[in-house]
Amino acid sequence: MRVLLVTPYSPFRDHDHAASDTLVPLVASLSKTHEVHVFTPDIISGSELRRGKEIVHEVWAGSRADLGKVRAALGVRPYWAREVWTRRMTEEACVVAARIRADVVHCEYLQVGDVARRVSQPSVITLHDVTRDVMARALSSAHGARRPYRFVELLRTAYFERQVVASATVPIALSSSDADRFRSLNREVRCVPPGVLIPAEQWSGGSSADRTVVFTGAMWREANARAASRLAREIMPLVWRDHPDVRLRIVGAGPGPGVLDLTDDQRVVVVGRVASLDDELMSGSVVACPTVYGGGVLMKLLRALALGAPVVTDVATAFSAGVGSDVAALASSDAAFADRLRECLEAPQAAAALGARARAFVRANFGWPIVSERYTAAYVRARELTA
């Protein structure tokens, strides 16, 4: 099948956010069974373009025209979308779709939603979250002069998201809970969880001489920064009552002042960007995946589970991934989260057994060949609906 994949982010290099774990391997996997063309304005070098052409059938480098912050903030589209995706990019993507006679146009991320709405070909769009919820949380945490701006962004986002979900032939959500939210707008919505590369090496008890709780994530993201703060300020003090020697290691690019301040306690170590997140996860005694917003940690959770590491996470996060208590240690409160961390630290053999079951679970449900088959089914359905 000839697929035009439209994305604001290049699938041919690493990023300091989840695109490295989702988009990059997705394109490589789809290219094994489909004639994939990629349209993106995010090609920054000739070497990257050449690498892309080694992976997919053709790369179409869209315009990198910058609207500027003022123009991006105006109009009916939310700023976060217009900042990275312009009307000109949408027009160019539609021209490419017609030129190559695409069987289906696959859009990644809501930012490119206007493409899914405007192309004449069947469209599939992957929605990486319920973005109106993200904007609502941003509004709730805004203060002063930023609150009116956040309110307008929420209204524009809700309107844009409804338009895109309703217009796309087959929308795809990454979790069943998100799919349920979108189903009232489009009954064709499907849940296709992100794929995970299963590392050859498996967690085997941590490599550190000291017992260590590990938390990873792009620290420049507010959701991750607040989750790290919750872990350090609310949960770990409960663990330290019984195990004062346990260290907390916070790993990820771009930690801001709020995260760096967590090192006021010498047992907390904040690490910026690292060469390998897997190495960090492998070295820990247990991996903590807390959340403040009720989501946003799906890839962090699956990455740790794929390594076979024992993981403690919130019930809501586990539910979004279909993860049960036989795969991860689940908690419904700060106190319960601390209890689960203590149990993993105090019973390393049981923790290792939990991690082994987790690795098998991820292999069976989130391997990239399985995910690629699910996308193919979505493509077939989109073509049926527009035949």
One-letter amino acid at 237 equals P
Work out the average pLDDT over 193-200. Answer: 87
149 and 227 within one domain: no
Note whether residue 206 is domain-resident.
no
Mean pLDDT for the chain?
91
The DSSP code for 212 is E
Q: What are phi and psi of 290, to 5 degrees?
A: -80, 165
- 30 vs 20, 21, 93, 368, CA distance in Å? 15, 15, 19, 9
pLDDT digits (tens, 9 = 90+) for 170-187: 999 998 889 999 999 999
- The answer to whether the CB of 128 falls within 8 A of the CB of 22 is yes
**47 and 134 assigned to the same domain:** yes
| Structural domain boundaries enclosing 321 | 212-366
DSSP class of 45: -
Tally of domains in the chain = 2
- More confident site: 337 or 140: 337
142 and 51, same domain (yes or no): yes
Q: Does 221 share its domain with 124?
A: no
The verdict on 9 and 158 lying in the same domain is yes
| Residue 318 falls inside a structural domain | yes
Do 225 and 182 share a structural domain?
no
Please check whether residues 191 and 76 belong to one and the same domain: yes
What average pLDDT does range 276-293 have in this prediction?
Answer: 90
Longest CA–CA separation in the chain, Å:
66
Q: Two tokens at 364?
A: 């069976």
The tokens for 333 are 């409160």
Residue appearing with tokens 């991996």: 287
Domain identity same for 12 and 151: yes
In a domain, 247, yes or no: yes
- 39 lies in a domain? yes
Residue 202, domain member (yes or no) = no
Coil/strand/helix, residue 291? coil
- Whether 201 is in a domain gets the answer no
Q: Which of 295, 223, 221 is nearest to 256 (CA)?
A: 221
Across-strand partners of 40? 61
Tell me the whole-structure pTM to 2 decimals.
Answer: 0.80
Model confidence pLDDT, tens digit, residues 291-342? 876 555 778 889 999 999 999 999 988 887 788 999 999 999 999 999 999 9
205 within a domain of the structure (yes/no) = no
In this structure, what CATH number is given to the domain that contains residue 374?
3.40.50.2000
| CA pseudo-torsion sign 125, 129, 133, 136 | negative
pLDDT tens for 1-23 read: 999 999 999 999 887 676 777 88
Average pLDDT over residues 224-236: 95
Q: Are residues 335 and 272 in the same domain?
A: yes
User: Is the pLDDT score of 385 beyond 90?
Assistant: yes
Same domain, 58 and 134: yes
Does residue 141 sit in the same domain as residue 217?
Answer: no
Q: How many CB atoms are located within 10 Å of the residue 240 CB?
A: 15
180 in Cβ contact with 351 (< 8 Å) = no
10 Å Cβ neighbour count for 77?
21
Question: How many CB atoms within 10 Å of residue 125?
Answer: 26
- Residue 250, classed as helix, strand or coil, is strand
Residue 58 CA to residue 52 CA, distance in Å, equals: 8
pLDDT digits (tens, 9 = 90+) for 69-90: 555 566 778 988 888 899 999 9
Secondary structure of residue 251 in the 3-state scheme:
strand
Residue 22 forms part of a structural domain: yes
Between 141 and 355, whose confidence is greater? 355
Pair (167, 254) in one structural domain: no
Average pLDDT over residues 229-242: 96
pLDDT value of position 70: 55
